[in-house]
Amino acid sequence: MTSSTTSAAPSSDILLAPSNVGVLSAPADYSADWPEWFRRGQKTAWETFQAIPQPKRTDEPWRFANLRALDLSDFTLAVPVENEAALIVRSKGFPDVAAKLIFANERLIQREATGLPPGVLLLPLEQAATDHQELFQRNFMSTPVRLGSKKFAALHRARLRTGAFLHVPKGIVIERPIEIWHWVEGEDATIFPHTLIVLEDGASASVIDRFVSANDESSLAIAVNDLTLGSGSKLTYVGVQEWSSKTTAFHLNTTEVAMNGTATALAMNFGGSYIRGESDSHLLGEGSRSVMLSINPADAEREIDQRTFQDHFAPRATSDLLYHNALSDASRTIFAGLIKVEEGAHETDAYQKVRNLILSDEAEANSMPGLEILADNVRCTHGATSGELNEDELFYMLARGIPPNQAAQLIVRGFFGTVLERLENPILEEQLGAILDRKLNLTV
Amino acid sequence: MPVPSLSILDLHASIGDKPILKGLTLEIPKGEVHAIMGKNGSGKSTLAKIMAGHPDYTVTSGDVLLDGESILGMEPDVRARLGLFLAFQYPMEIPGVTIANFIRAALQSRLPEGEDIDAIDYYENLYKKMDLLSMSRSFTSRSVNEGFSGGEKKRCEILQMAMLQPSYAVLDETDSGLDIDALKIVSAGVNSLRGPNIGMLVITHYQRLLDYIVPDKVHVMSEGRIILSGEKDLALKLEAEGYDWVEKEYQAA
């Protein structure tokens, strides 16, 4: 770990110089940490980023979105953080993890991986690209971004400097979760968190990505996670997003599940001013399963814009989406989801449910569920509901002495708790539940 | 100093324009168990909701005093913290909120700011009360009333009463939806809570419950008023002869 002896005064020219590099200015050179072929790919990605026009209101994937949030011209590339040790101390996560990585401003500042079974790779991306080129190339951003953010994914590809790479070989089960922290620090700083997970046949793991701001600063995060599941493998992936209230963030996911594999992914969005989430699940193998969950307590003027795709290529696969939004103040949510059953994907089970709990007259929830079926004998349901707090539930709680604001928070907690239950993992449920309690200011 | 009591004084209340209570007077001294019986539609359950402060009802005149203090101007949660408990006829389901967390939040709300419940003591107490009601401990992690049978819901109500230790409890049709075994368990739970520090008002349609929760006094309610009060054997007479004679006598008087 580095310990900086440079003065922390913000007026220092040495500190200011690198942070003045705009995120939209042409990259001068690419990091020597990466192999030559990867750097060529970065250059191509930069050209792609420039070639794709800025999203317009008339673009279907950006319907209802606040396009002003997509003006990234004020953001600059993050420079190394001032005090790594302080952030390491603040990275207090789950009590019992198999491994823990801490990234801050595009650098790996801590790696603890003593609890991993032999054969498991948990490496910074650049090392994986160098030492495991074939594995890396096969899985790194190998699937096109289809839900609208192709331009921003290209920026991510062009600019990222590091990230997490997890490879679990055939049949290996990692019992305890792996926790990965992604810190951003600095006014207008930009980071590109990346988590690439490959589970071979029969492997099993759970991974928690923690997205955090060091200070209450404006920042930009363009995060990508690619999840590749082999036959019969089992992955639980959770993104706990606690960005500052001034952060613009993109969280772009691609999940590919082979025969009888089960992917369970949960996004918990607590922070940010504009959050764009894209989740694209490919049910590639027969009997594969993708559970897509999201917990979104939206407050202040936050906009949480989520686009999802449940794409069934193989027969007898299941996708099950459950998103719960609780909207207070002048917050907005957008949900647009498509279930597509491709030709031959018979006996598909696909479910999509979005529930909006509207807690304020000024809040706005937009839901656009969609369905396209090209196979026979399928069972697909989709629906979006919006409602206010149930007065009878509220009265029941008041009649027990619970004050109205606390009662409302408990009902919201319960509303989200029903999503946590779908993880079917009591330990994660309890630990993530504790984060929920803290965020909702519940004393229970 | 008068005997502490829950007193209802000439209470008039309505829902919208429709009067429901038309001058109801009743006093339940602390330490006693009173029963209200009456036909469907007599206003029994409405009385319970009005005492608890349900927002659908408007009190037009009269008063409800808890140990001499009027509670009508108070919010429902304030009344509850003051010591009034309502066991619901139809307890609400609260998805995702466990019984343990729900009761804990209710107890926490009775503590001064900054003071927290001791988790170990809390669970010890909770398990003890659950054993009394023959409730499996797995109930603590289940969502409040979600997917419960009628008997489980009512047991859960009595569990909450046992944990919150109110000074006055109104039990609204606690026997409805119970088979005889569940009725015995729930009644035993209620009886174990009887004592000098609590007054209870048991609202019921059937005399059956009063075989198990034997009241000190029985009141007959009709069209928003108490039309007859008597000792516990009044319940048996009502069971045998119905309500019509009471109403006739009341009208004659």
Closest CB from A401, A413, A421 relative to B106 = A401
pLDDT digits (tens, 9 = 90+) for A249-278: 999 999 999 999 999 999 999 999 999 999
Domain boundaries, chain A: 27-388, 391-444
Res. A77: pLDDT tops 80: yes
Contact B77 A396 (CB under 8 A): no
- B138: containing domain: 5-252
Contact A401 B164 (CB under 8 A): yes
pLDDT digits (tens, 9 = 90+) for B30-62: 999 999 999 888 899 999 999 999 999 999 999
> What span, in angstroms and rounded, lies between the C-alpha atoms of A337 and A211?
24
Residues 367-406 of A with CB under 8 A from B: 390-393, 395-404, 406
A442 touches chain B (CB under 8 A): yes
In this prediction, residue A94 carries a pLDDT of 94
Res. A442: pLDDT tops 90: no
Interface test with B, best of A395, A440, A443 (most B CBs within 10 A): A395
Query: Between the CA of residue A170 and those of A130, A225, A231, what are the distances in Å?
Result: 22, 21, 9
A430 touches chain B (CB under 8 A): no
In this prediction, residue B177 has a pLDDT band, given cuts at 50, 70 and 90, of confident
Give the burial string for B211-226 (b: 16+ CB within 10 Å, else e). Answer: ebbebbbbbbbbbbbb
In this prediction, residue A27 carries a pLDDT of 87
Contact A398 B75 (CB under 8 A): yes
In this prediction, residue A19 carries a pLDDT of 63
Percent of chain B at pLDDT exceeding 70: 100
Res. A375: pLDDT tops 60: yes
In this prediction, residue A41 has a pLDDT band, given cuts at 50, 70 and 90, of very high
Contact A417 B77 (CB under 8 A): no
What's chain B's length in residues?
A: 253
In this prediction, residue A3 has a pLDDT band, given cuts at 50, 70 and 90, of very low
Interface test with A, best of B94, B117, B141 (most A CBs within 10 A): B94
Q: What's the whole-number mean pLDDT along residues A393-413?
A: 96
In this prediction, residue A32 has a pLDDT band, given cuts at 50, 70 and 90, of confident
Written as one string, the DSSP assignment of A398-444 is: HTTT--HHHHHHHHHHHHHHHHHGGG--HHHHHHHHHHHHHHTT---
Q: What's the whole-number mean pLDDT along residues B195-214?
A: 94
What are residue A236's DSSP bridge partners? A206, A264
Residues on chain A touching B52 (C-beta within 8 angstroms):
395, 399
In this prediction, residue A18 carries a pLDDT of 52
Residues on chain A touching B80 (C-beta within 8 angstroms):
398-401
In this prediction, residue A9 carries a pLDDT of 39
pLDDT averaged over every residue in chain B = 94
For residues A20 and A189, the answer to whether their CB atoms sit within 8 Å is no
ipTM for the complex shown: 0.96
State the smallest CA–CA distance between residue B212 and chain A in angstroms: 26
A423 touches chain B (CB under 8 A): no
Q: What's the whole-number mean pLDDT along residues A112-134?
A: 96
In this prediction, residue B207 carries a pLDDT of 87
Count structural domains, chain B: 1
Contact A406 B105 (CB under 8 A): yes
What SS3 class is residue A167? Answer: strand
> What span, in angstroms and rounded, lies between the C-alpha atoms of A200 and B45?
62
CATH number, position B57: 3.40.50.300
